[in-house]
Amino acid sequence: MRGGMEENISLGKILSDLRSNMGLSQKDIAEQIHVRTAVISEIENDQLLHAPFVFVKGYIRSYANIVGLSADEYQPYLEILAEQYLVKETKKPKPIYSKTNRSKKPFFFGLFALICALGGGLYYVNSQNKSNFIEVSHYISPQPSDRVNS
């Protein structure tokens, strides 16, 4: 192990020191991992990232591979980080009422009922007014009297 896993040395500090010894900047590491520089900074400062743990674990694994830190050396830190994420997730307050829990069925049922009532009303009015119509079977146009037959 590189210096061993001492209780007072954090994973972020180890990764940062190894990166500096290789002459790489945070930007260099970020470009190789395809993340923002702020993510590398948060890893080096041992801050909990605002990303799912599976992504953070992948970022740390990629970072460690670049700087030459073996999996045996960073794995204990990942286990501690996993516990911190678990605690962080259980402390999140769950909303009592959220928009996603509401069902849209009552709205569509009401809309369907309104359309059916409107259609029924129009049918009734139309059937009552049909008796007032006069059916014309043919139409004869008036012929002008000055028409000349050829």
Task: Identify whether residues 84 and 117 lie together within a single domain.
Answer: no
Q: Which domain holds residue 83?
A: 11-90
How far are the Cα atoms of 96, 97, 118, 135 from residue 105, in angstroms, in the given order?
20, 17, 20, 45
How many helices (H) and strands (E) in the chain?
6, 0
Q: Mean of the pLDDT values across residues 114-126?
A: 90
- Asked if residue 4 has pLDDT above 50, the reply is no
Least confident of 9-13, 40-44, 57-61, 90-94: 90-94
Confidence band for 43, pLDDT divided at 50, 70 and 90: confident
What pTM did the predictor assign? 0.54
Task: Identify whether residues 15 and 85 lie together within a single domain.
Answer: yes
Task: Identify whether residues 84 and 111 lie together within a single domain.
Answer: no
Could you give the number of structural domains in the chain?
Answer: 2
Buried residues in 85-121 as b, exposed as e (16+ CB within 10 A):
beeeeeeeeeeeeeeeeeeeeeeeeeeeeeeeeeeee
Task: Identify whether residues 15 and 82 lie together within a single domain.
Answer: yes
The answer to the question of residue 143 being in a domain is no
Task: Identify whether residues 122 and 79 lie together within a single domain.
Answer: no
- Asked if residue 146 has pLDDT above 70, the reply is no
